[in-house]
Structure 1
Amino acid sequence: MIHRRDFLIATTATLGTLGLAPALAQTDALPKRPIRLVVPFAAGGGVDVFARLLAEKLKEKYGLTIVVENRGGANGSIGGSAVRSAEPDGTTLLFSAMTHTMAKQVMKSPPYDPVTDFTPIARVGEAPMLLVMAPNLPFKTIAEVVADAKQQPDKWTFATAALGAPGHLATVLFNKLAGLNLTIAPYRGTAPGLTDVAAGHVQLMIDPVLALLPMARGGNVKALAVTAKARAALAPEIPTAAENGMPGLEYATWYGVWGPKGMPAATVTALNAACNAAIKDLAASGKLAEFGIEPVSGTPESFADFIEKDVKRNSELLKSVNFEPV
């Protein structure tokens, strides 16, 4: 005879096991060999910082061996090409921003189709952007910058991490709103461009808050505004673009993980679940807030749908200013 208490214990244990089954199955589908997480920009930029945060959490949470590899150059396409040509077994992944998805819109001869040649795995975060200026310039507001640039446009140049990068698109929007066509100089990532702004060789740069704020707080560059509707919790002392003289300059960057085309569905699902869980933990610990990143999670399908809409929006922005791929 089975007592009611024993029956309840057995039933609870069974239900618990059944509930764990999908999670265990997903964990089993994670790559067993070391994972190469390719960042297509120089070390030290916003994409690199976030990639390393995620890699460390995935190591801690799942025991994965993840090596972050910086492969900068050619608007991020050198790193993208390395992932595209890799075996689609989940051991070579790309960590990038919207720069990756804009390759066809900003390059005359992109080495791949950033949408159809890759497997979207997870969108993991987004962040406001920061407009900074060379420290040797006397201006304090965007309105003052625009007024001077209209008088002397040849004296003003924007640095950008890469063509098609979030900072590039935000800069295009700046030019459009200001009625200017200031030169935009692409670099091999955020760090080298920011170095030139700090040295006064280039006058302006827009890039994620997490990448530019340390230099701004250190006095190496001047922070003018965040490109958001509200001030960033990470830097409440910095005004919004609207407060500083340019209403409408609102632009956020986002980050995601991709793999090569043709990855097994089970591996994609497992990596997506692992990324979502890691981002949840990072958000709960306050690590993301330290860098001004808002957590994002969702399915691979929702990521693919987001990419389609984002590419359309940014393509229309580039077309509105007659941008020509280079």
Structure 2
Amino acid sequence: MRLIALVSALLLPLGQAVAQDYPTRPITMLVPFAAGGPTDTIARLTAAGMGKSLGQQIVVENATGAGGTIGSTRASRAQPDGYTLLIHHVGISTAATLYRNLSYDTKTAFAPIGLVTNAPMTIIARSDFPADTLKELVAYAQQQGDKLTYANAGLGAASHLCGMLFMTAIQKQLTTVPYKGNGPIMNDLLGKQIDLTCDQATNTTGPITAKQVKAYAITTKERLKSLPDLPTADEAGLKGFELGVWHGIYAPKGTPPAVVQKLTAALQAALRDPVLIARFNDINTEPVPQDKATPEALGAMLVSEVDRWAPIIKAAGQYAD
């Protein structure tokens, strides 16, 4: 019997044999942005939940710089053994065009594990801005053009992408003011030194509720539970306008399918956990449905978003290199 078991084990495909015992040591999850930001928070909550199912700790490591491409590059070059993961947001898809000399092909360099969240952004202005509705804002922006200032947190940031999408939708260029983070943007917006920005609801719900800023719309298909009176951009007149800050988890290309399957199962289990759901709700985001926390859904999203953003970025002529 022992001989038969030994022979059977030797005949197993290498990936399947490895996956049987996986994981046998801690896993590293790379976050390509600074500690304390929304992606870092989502990563740490998700890593803790997945670690419970896997029986191993997932250690979050911040590998920052170059709009998230340093962390992505490192992940693409890691051993495809399931011990190095990457969590990234919508910026992984836009970097494919923003950075023209990437060392990896965004569409093929990774083995998708699954989507995690899809958080809305909000279009906001200083509290004394003349327009009161999104339709009025669009009309005013089309009239004033580059006399209006739009703040973003740098090339490739979600606020940068939202601004490009907004200016493309209204067919008018505003004066773009780049910052080094969302904190300084909010300070200047509260101080009425800039006109407009677009930022994650995680950062804007407080100022909106306190009426410290003027809010016009959220950028996803459904309204936000914490801001039920704030319409979607589509409802408010910008038909088809949609931008969610979606997050996904990836492994390097070539990771054994059985390992990917274990990681996906752990992700799905984490996203069903009421504790994790409550923590996500605290930061104004929600886990994706189980059928979206799959390699197939994330892979399709990635390819679709790369193709969606490429013509917008090229038309704007804004590159990071």
For normalisation by structure 2, the TM-score amounts to 0.78
- Structure 2 residue aligned with 1:267, among 225, 248, 259? 259
Q: Which moved more, 1:240-249 or 1:307-316?
A: 240-249
SS at match of 1:123: strand
Output the amino acid matched with 2:35: A
- Tell me the residue number matched to 1:293: 286
- Alignment: residue pair count: 301
- Structure 1 residue aligned with 2:307, among 304, 312, 317? 312
Q: Which moved more, 1:131-140 or 1:50-59?
A: 131-140
- Structure 1 residue aligned with 2:208, among 209, 216, 220? 216
- Structure 2 residue aligned with 1:116, among 101, 108, 114? 108
By how many angstroms is 1:213 displaced? 2.1
Question: Deviation string for 1:190-249 (max 9, x for gaps)?
Answer: 455445544545432223323432343355543321123442223102222245453432
- Tell me the residue number matched to 2:148: 156
Q: Which moved more, 1:202-211 or 1:122-131?
A: 202-211
Output the amino acid matched with 2:285: G
Kindly report structure 1 stretches of 4+ aligned residues shifted beyond 6 Å: none
Output the amino acid matched with 1:306: M
Aligned pairs (5 A) from 1:66-215: 66-135=58-127, 137-161=129-153, 163-185=155-177, 190-191=182-183, 193-215=185-207
- Tell me the residue number matched to 1:238: 230
Output the amino acid matched with 1:325: Y
CA distance in 2, matches of 1:221, 1:32: 50
CA distance in 2, matches of 1:111, 1:162: 22
CA distance in 1, matches of 2:180, 2:105: 21
8 Å CA contact retained: 2:117, 2:285: no
CA distance in 1, matches of 2:180, 2:32: 9
SS at match of 1:295: coil
SS at match of 2:249: strand
CA distance in 2, matches of 1:264, 1:244: 46
Output the amino acid matched with 1:53: L
SS at match of 1:216: helix
**Residues 172, 284 of structure 1: CA spacing in aligned structure 2 closer, same or farther, 3 A cutoff?**
same
CA distance in 2, matches of 1:94, 1:270: 16
8 Å CA contact retained: 1:75, 1:188: no
By how many angstroms is 1:180 displaced? 0.8
Q: Does 1:34 align with 2:29?
A: no
Output the amino acid matched with 1:207: D
Q: Percent identity?
A: 37
**Residues 253, 59 of structure 1: CA spacing in aligned structure 2 closer, same or farther, 3 A cutoff?**
same
RMSD of Structure 2 on Structure 1 (CA): 3.2
SS at match of 1:37: strand
Output the amino acid matched with 2:25: R
**Residues 264, 247 of structure 1: CA spacing in aligned structure 2 closer, same or farther, 3 A cutoff?**
closer
8 Å CA contact retained: 2:148, 2:174: yes
CA distance in 2, matches of 1:293, 1:223: 21
Q: Which moved more, 1:52-61 or 1:94-103?
A: 52-61
SS at match of 2:273: helix
Q: Which runs of 5+ in 2 are unaligned?
A: 1-16
8 Å CA contact retained: 1:29, 1:267: no
CA distance in 2, matches of 1:260, 1:187: 32
CA distance in 2, matches of 1:190, 1:261: 33
By how many angstroms is 1:56 displaced? 2.4
